[in-house]
Structure 1
Amino acid sequence: MATRRQPPTVRLRRLAGELRSLRQASGLTREDAAAQTNINSATLYRIETAKARPQRRTLLTLLDKYGVGDPERRAALVELSKQATQLGWLQAYESELPEEYTTYISFESEARSVRNYESLFVPGLLQTQGYTRAVVTASLPHASDDEVQKRVETRTQRQAFITRDDPLKLSAIVDEAVLHRKVGGAEVMAGQLRHLLDLTERPHITLQVLPYKVGAHPGMHGAFAVMDFPDVVDPELVYIENMAGALYLEKEADIRRYAEMFDQLRSAALNVADSRKFLDRLIDSEGEGRRK
């Protein structure tokens, strides 16, 4: 059985960036550094791309080579390395979930804000348990009851990010089709719509509806999320998911492109107040339909 890869975390990504910058400041290519430290070049590549955490001996060897002599700087990087693979509550679910999902959650848990466009689902952070259960059951038809429950519990744990003392700021845009699709049936969906309306009263959560009348728009290729982080040394990150897997984009040009795309969608969508009115009308119409 293949060894499960350690999901990258914000700290691991930060350590990778620090070591990459130190090497470049030393005027060394990755091949130079590998040859002069006897560290395998493939290992060094994995360290610099946040795919692996360096062992303490490897880290100290690199710091020596890059001329990092300041004791406080060395101690800070060693401590960062120690913390780089800590997954907190997610540790209990790691073996049950796909690597790309645990990776996303590890980043989301430390993000300052998320800009999320969804074309098919209610954003995960805003889902009710009934909605989540229906989505997981439909998308994973061969999953056991225990596996489904683990997914539901994980999503519920994630939602603590938007209710903690220093909550994650969420800006969400959903296609109108998301709100009409009766995931889990009429009763589950009615509860989901009411939940969305309640959540929009929180100052750190904005929800906008992208109506059908907009026609063609920049988000037609699919859902995406743009995350940014409290520490300025941690660059923004774009997350894209499809049936083939997950993709993380870190290049400045890609981040700028998706940020601009989100702004275009935000301009095309109903504003926050009108989106609330849209939800109100939809809830009322669904209620009327059930009473007939």
Structure 2
Amino acid sequence: MAGEATPTMRRRQVGAELRRLREAADTTIDQAAAHLQCSASKISRMETGTGIQRTRDVTALLDLYGVTGEQLRDELLGMVRSARQQDWWHSYTDAVPRWFERFMAAESSAVSVEEFENQLVPGLLQTPGYARAVLRAANTSLDDDEIDRRVTVRMERQKRLAGDDPLSLWVVLDESVLHRHVGGSEVMRVQLAHLADRAAQPNITVQVLPYALGAYAAFGYPFTILAFSAPPGGEVVHMDQLHSGLYLERDADLRRYKLAMNRLRAAAMDPERSNRLIIEAAEEMG
């Protein structure tokens, strides 16, 4: 998955180009909607890549915007057709909640992820045993096969951390994450050893906020910032809730969370000291 132009990424690219062409043609969203005889919200969804982009609709918009160059039209329509392919996680839609599919789409398209966590090791750095314990505790109604499917999805997501163009991951953890016995001492020992190994990868940075620090920025409020390079680029903040996810994309919100992440990085121990603390915690597990 790493380095590939996923269907989600292609939809974002098509949408960004449609918006650029519409603005260059001095055409409003309402005018584009009138041309397609659809709602303005449909045009907006097409431009953000969150809505269906049909070949006939894109062709009609290109005509409206006066795009006559065959090369541009062919490239854009080719991207529309390739974007119809399903993302990798569609084969696991029975194993994950619908609301989490949007997060996996964003994660698959992101070039970097910054995450603050004060309770758990982030999913991208979990071992199968740790992930199974977390998922079992949170989903008591699921049977073993369903839990295994969700663990598999979590392990598949981690493939973004390897390959020729791996995801850049920067994690800040509360020290309590290292000492909470999720799944028991042996599961935690393996998890912490794995966390220390992962932190040695050049594309992964792990910092720990020590107990001695007391209160700090975003205390008690874990969040994730995902950044994108492919058009339309930008960033989004994601926060997990019990049965849903919250997304923030306004500039003011992004500035607040970027500032909070910068303050967390500054307050945390440096990566080398953090890794030593992780290894010590693993050794204490026996």
Q: CA deviation at 1:31?
A: 1.9
Shift in alpha-carbon separation, 1:265–1:256, aligned structure 2, 3 A? same
After superposing on structure 2, the runs of 4+ consecutive aligned residues of structure 1 that deviate more than 4 Å are: none
Q: Does structure 1 conserve the Cα–Cα contact (< 8 Å) formed by 2:115 and 2:224?
A: yes
Q: CA deviation at 1:250?
A: 2.8
Structure-2 residue corresponding to 1:242: 241
Shift in alpha-carbon separation, 1:90–1:117, aligned structure 2, 3 A? same
* Distance of 1:31 and 1:90 partners within structure 2: 34
- Deviation string 1:45-98 (CA, Å, 9 cap, x unpaired) is 332343312211111111111122222221222122223343443221124322
Please give the residue correspondences for 1:3-42 in structure 2 after superposition, counting only pairs within 5 Å: 9-42=8-41
Structure-1 residue corresponding to 2:4: none
Structure-2 residue corresponding to 1:125: 124
Structure-1 residue corresponding to 2:105: 106
Residues 119-128 or 211-220, more deviating: 211-220
Residues 140-149 or 9-18, more deviating: 9-18
| Residues paired across the two proteins, number | 280
- Give the counterpart letter for 1:198 in structure 2: D
The answer on 1:281 being equivalent to 2:277 is no
- Deviation string 1:168-212 (CA, Å, 9 cap, x unpaired) is 111111111111111111111111111111112211111111112
- Deviation string 1:249-271 (CA, Å, 9 cap, x unpaired) is 33333333322221110001111
Q: CA deviation at 1:223?
A: 1.8
Q: Does structure 1 conserve the Cα–Cα contact (< 8 Å) formed by 2:188 and 2:285?
A: no
Shift in alpha-carbon separation, 1:112–1:36, aligned structure 2, 3 A? closer
Structure-2 residue corresponding to 1:218: 217
Structure-2 residue corresponding to 1:156: 155
- Give the counterpart letter for 1:37 in structure 2: L
Q: CA deviation at 1:231?
A: 3.1
- Give the counterpart letter for 1:158 in structure 2: R
- Deviation string 1:220-276 (CA, Å, 9 cap, x unpaired) is 252222222343642222222212521233333333332222111000111111101
Shift in alpha-carbon separation, 1:106–1:85, aligned structure 2, 3 A? farther
* Distance of 1:209 and 1:283 partners within structure 2: 14
- Give the counterpart letter for 2:51 in structure 1: A
Shift in alpha-carbon separation, 1:229–1:41, aligned structure 2, 3 A? closer
* Distance of 2:24 and 2:165 partners within structure 1: 36
SS where residue 206 of structure 1 aligns? strand
The answer on 1:171 being equivalent to 2:170 is yes
Shift in alpha-carbon separation, 1:145–1:49, aligned structure 2, 3 A? same
Q: Does structure 2 conserve the Cα–Cα contact (< 8 Å) formed by 1:176 and 1:209?
A: yes
TM superposition score normalised by structure 1:
0.88
SS where residue 219 of structure 2 aligns? helix
Larger relative contact order (CA 8 Å, sep ≥ 6): 2
Structure 1 regions of 5+ residues with no counterpart? 1-7, 288-292
CA RMSD of aligned residues (A): 2.0
* Distance of 2:167 and 2:261 partners within structure 1: 18
- Deviation string 1:131-152 (CA, Å, 9 cap, x unpaired) is 0000110001101222111100
Structure-1 residue corresponding to 2:3: none
Structure 2 regions of 5+ residues with no counterpart? 1-6
The answer on 1:193 being equivalent to 2:183 is no
* Distance of 2:41 and 2:197 partners within structure 1: 50
* Distance of 1:236 and 1:109 partners within structure 2: 14
- Give the counterpart letter for 1:46 in structure 2: R
Q: Does structure 1 conserve the Cα–Cα contact (< 8 Å) formed by 2:207 and 2:271?
A: yes
- Give the counterpart letter for 1:125 in structure 2: L
